[in-house]
């Protein structure tokens, strides 16, 4: 994945996801880290977009924070090192790139990182589909 083909906001979200994983001493950067970064991004479009769709972003953020805090952490006296992008998140980025390509966009945006297709596998694995259905207005 070429991160130079991400919009500035999308690059910032990926960087924030990496910092989040590393600050919590977690080896992998997962989709849940990116979701937290997107939900907390200042002046981002993701939260307003989800709210416009009738999705309760506060509940999703609470569940996301809880999921991140449950992830395994590196312990011991050594430095944790640099977190790496998980296969799951790499697949998310690839799906985002496919979405951008279909729209004939040259860059991957934060919106493409939260399309239903992009997140569907992760949401199903985490059993978040019912949460989204319940919070729709």
Q: Is domain 3-135 annotated with CATH 3.30.300.30?
A: no
Check if the beta carbon of residue 105 is closer than 8 Å to that of residue 10: no
Q: What is the pLDDT of residues 58-107, one digit of tens each?
A: 988 998 899 899 999 888 765 567 889 998 888 888 888 888 888 898 88
Q: Is the pTM here over 0.85, yes or no?
A: no
CA triple 34-37-41, angle to 5 deg:
145
pLDDT of residue 125: 54
CA triple 56-26-107, angle to 5 deg:
60
CB neighbour class for 57 (10 Å; exposed up to 12, middle 13-18, buried from 19): middle
Structure tokens at 64: 């996301």
């Amino acid at each position: 994945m070429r991160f130079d083909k991400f919009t500035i906001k999308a690059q910032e979200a990926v960087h924030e996801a990496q910092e989040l994983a590393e600050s919590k001493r977690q080896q992998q950067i997962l989709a849940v880290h990116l979701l937290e970064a997107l939900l907390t991004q200042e002046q981002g479009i993701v939260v307003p977009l989800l709210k416009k769709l009738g999705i309760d972003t506060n509940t999703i953020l609470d569940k996301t924070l809880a999921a991140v805090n449950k992830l395994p952490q590196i312990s011991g006296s050594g430095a944790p090192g640099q977190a790496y992008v998980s296969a799951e998140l790499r697949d998310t980025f690839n799906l985002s790139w496919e979405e951008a390509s279909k729209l004939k966009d040259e860059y991957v945006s934060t919106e493409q990182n939260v399309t239903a297709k992009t997140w569907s596998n992760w949401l199903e694995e985490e059993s978040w589909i019912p949460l989204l259905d319940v919070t729709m207005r």
